[in-house]
Amino acid sequence: PRIDDMGLMEALTTDAYFIGAMGSTKTSENRKARLKQLDISDDLIARLHAPVGLPIGSKTPAEIAIAILAQLTALRSTAGNTVQADFRAVG
């Protein structure tokens, strides 16, 4: 496991509203596979927003922050919806 995996393992078992992890799509897929190997349930892994942020082509730290805040805002707007929005499937 990588060092961020340990933190995510702990966070996923809390009642935190939002748990996100930065990284590319490939990095996120690998991270989720590692969490599964560590016996983290699919339900808990599904809580992880990774890669975090809306896919707006963010490059700078400020753009990444905006993308994450946009994702949080969108999720807050659909808080009653039990299905996690998959913004990467759009467009």
> How many structural domains are present in the chain?
2
Residue appearing with tokens 């490939």: 26
Long-range contacts of 42-46 (CB under 8 A, 24+ apart): 44/12, 44/13, 45/12, 46/84
- Are 24 and 67 part of one and the same domain? no
Please report whether residue 14 resides in a domain.
Answer: yes
- Are 58 and 47 part of one and the same domain? no
| pLDDT computed for residue 78 by the predictor | 76
User: What is residue 66's three-state secondary structure?
Assistant: helix
| pLDDT computed for residue 34 by the predictor | 97
Please report whether residue 34 resides in a domain.
Answer: yes
Model pTM above 0.85 = no
| pLDDT computed for residue 85 by the predictor | 54
- Are 22 and 61 part of one and the same domain? no
- Are 70 and 31 part of one and the same domain? no
pLDDT, tens digit only, all 91 positions of the chain: 788 999 999 999 999 999 999 999 999 999 999 999 999 999 999 999 999 999 999 999 999 999 999 999 998 887 655 445 565 554 4
Task: Name every residue whose Cβ is closer than 8 Å to that of residue 13 and which is 6 or more positions away in sequence.
Answer: 44
**Residues spanned by the domain of 65:** 54-83
- Are 43 and 73 part of one and the same domain? no
Alpha carbon of 74 to those of 8, 38, 62: distances in Å?
A: 22, 31, 18
